[in-house]
Amino acid sequence: MSRVPAPDVSIRRGRAADAGGILALEAAFPSDRMSARSVRRFLGVPSARVLIADRAGEVAGALILLLRRNSHWARIYSVAVDPRYRGCGLGRRLVEAAHGLARRERRQGVSLEVRADNVAALGLYRGLGYVEAARLPAYYEDGAPGIRLRKPFGRPRRTRR
Ligand SMILES: CC(C)(COP(=O)(O)OP(=O)(O)OC[C@H]1O[C@@H](n2cnc3c(N)ncnc32)[C@H](O)[C@@H]1OP(=O)(O)O)[C@@H](O)C(=O)NCCC(=O)NCCS
């Protein structure tokens, strides 16, 4: 899919000023969109990390990773790329950056839920090693089914001497 030339984008932590840009990306979702209040909360709480794909100060993509204290798993709550910049690797870069954060937080892996008909997202996650953990009938507000995917990191192998 990544056939479009990659725009000059860096991945950085989100800040309060990104709230508007993140909300604009929410228009991509057919249901279960985040409210302005939730976005501002995610930008401020220690149990969430917001990653921004920044193109010259503009929010070209965003990912919200939840790091709940009572879970061994990190959870990707939301990821979206501006339609103008899709297909050039930004989604993959955001998810890989989230993996880096989850590993640094010593999580067992990453889990997430995705609409069963979201071909692009399923392609993205499967390409990064996610496997199906559960089918979730009528999971979304509009009644659409979901799929829970998980990517376990596995233990780093010990090298023999
Ligand atoms: C899903 C989404 C984040 C992907 O972002 P992206 O930057 O376009 O994806 P990338 O360019 O990094 O593509 C990475 C992989 O995803 C898959 N992919 C991306 N778009 C795809 C499409 N339209 N059809 C099929 N597979 C697709 C491919 O496997 C691709 O790997 P490849 O380039 O080696 O073929 C983007 O389509 C989006 O914002 N969608 C709307 C919001 C959404 O659905 N979020 C996911 C909710 S769980």
Give residue 2's pLDDT: 52
The number of distinct structural domains making up the chain is 1
Nearest CA to ligand 1 atom 23: 120
pLDDT in tens, 42-97: 999 999 999 999 999 999 999 999 999 999 999 999 999 999 999 999 999 999 99
Question: For residues 64 and 77, is the Cβ–Cβ distance under 8 A?
Answer: yes
Give the whole-angstrom CA distance, residue 16 versus residue 35: 14
- Please check whether residue 88 is in contact with residue 7, taking contact to mean a CB–CB distance below 8 angstroms: yes
Phi and psi angles of residue 37, each rounded to the nearest 5 degrees, phi first? -65, -45
Ligand 1 atom closest to the Cα of residue 124 is: 16
Is position 69 within any domain? yes
**Residue 5 belongs to some domain of the structure:** no
Query: From the alpha carbon of 93, which atom of ligand 1 is closest?
Result: 12
Q: Report CA(105)–ligand 1 centroid distance (Å).
A: 26
- pLDDT score, position 3: 52
Instruction: Please give the residue that has the higher pLDDT: either 159 or 152.
Output: 152
Q: Is residue 109 part of a domain?
A: yes
Q: What spacing in Å lies between the alpha carbon of 159 and ligand 1's midpoint?
A: 36
What pLDDT score does 5 carry?
62
Whether residue 2 is contained in a domain is answered as no
Tokens representing residue 125 in the block: 């996650």
Q: Is the CB of 146 under 6 A from ligand 1?
A: no
User: Is residue 78 domain-resident?
Assistant: yes
**pLDDT tens per residue across span 99-116:** 999 999 999 999 999 999
129: left (phi over 0), alpha (psi -120 to 50) or beta: left
Atom of ligand 1 nearest to the CA of 115: 48
Report CA(24)–ligand 1 centroid distance (Å).
18
Domain of residue 23, residue span:
10-152
pLDDT at 31: 81
Q: How confident is the model at residue 158 (pLDDT cuts 50, 70, 90)?
A: low
In CATH, what number is assigned to the domain containing residue 141?
3.40.630.30
pLDDT at 13 over 80: yes
Say if CB 39 and CB 93 are below 8 A apart: no
Q: Which residue's alpha carbon is at the smallest distance from atom 7 of ligand 1?
A: 91
Q: What strands lie across the sheet with 109-115, from one edge to the other?
A: 10-13, 48-55, 58-66, 73-81, 109-115, 146-152, 131-136
- Check residue 157 and give its pLDDT: 55
User: Is residue 121 one of the residues assigned to a domain?
Assistant: yes
Q: What is the b/e burial string over 103-137, where b = at least 16 CB atoms within 10 angstroms of the residue's CB?
A: eeeebbbbbbbbbbebeebbebbeeeebeeeeebe
Contact indicator for 62, 53 with CB cutoff of 8 Å: yes
Q: Tell me if 130 is assigned to some domain.
A: yes
3 is a domain residue: no
High-pLDDT (> 90) share of the chain, %: 84
